[in-house]
Amino acid sequence: MRRIRCTRCGGPVEIPFPLVAVDCIVPDEAGRVLLIRRRFPPPGWALPGGFVDAGESLETAVARELLEETGLRLTALAQFHAYSEPSRDPRHPMVSVVFVGRGQGSPRAGDDAGEAAFFALGDLPAEMAFDHRAILDDYARRRYPAEPE
């Protein structure tokens, strides 16, 4: 939350700036999607992703997060959709730009991921973090078509 002064009355004004994050849907050849089990709260399985660092583009951030959390090097990328429901993250208002990507290598858990595994869209884990189940529902229904190039 940032505090500034009102230009009219001089009183304090609080502006709750949302944070910006990126997430990546990484399908394999069988159509399964890569998820990571979070090591830190909030618990659950999630798409690989995280916060965009200062001075970093969305594309650079998603490539960095994918490498840090899964060991995969991003080889193709397409923007899928931005999710901005204020209550989507229990920690802070958050806007997440979701990408569909392809990665090179074999997934292995790293950074704040305790586990990394592929799941069929019809057989996702019961405990999903944030709104990632809804994001994957949108992806399964091709609500926002995107294919990495």
pLDDT for 31 equals 94
pLDDT for 144 equals 79
Q: How many whole angstroms separate alpha carbon 105 and alpha carbon 99?
A: 18
127 given a catalytic annotation: no
Domain ranges across the chain: 18-140
User: pTM of the prediction?
Assistant: 0.86
pLDDT for 15 equals 72
Options 29, 56, 115, 127, the catalytic residue:
115
- Listed in sequence order, the residues at least 6 apart from 91 whose beta carbon sits closer than 8 Å to its beta carbon are 42
Q: What's the CATH number of domain 18-140, 2.30.29.30, 3.90.1150.150, 3.90.79.10, 3.40.1010.10?
A: 3.90.79.10
pLDDT for 1 equals 53
- Listed in sequence order, the residues at least 6 apart from 64 whose beta carbon sits closer than 8 Å to its beta carbon are 53, 56
pLDDT for 3 equals 66
Q: Each residue's pLDDT tens digit in the chain (149 positions)?
A: 566 788 888 888 877 788 999 999 999 999 999 999 999 988 999 999 999 999 999 999 999 999 999 999 999 999 999 999 988 888 788 899 999 999 999 999 998 889 999 999 999 999 999 999 999 999 999 887 777 76
Find, among 53, 106, 97, the residue nearest to 78 by Cα.
97
pLDDT for 87 equals 82
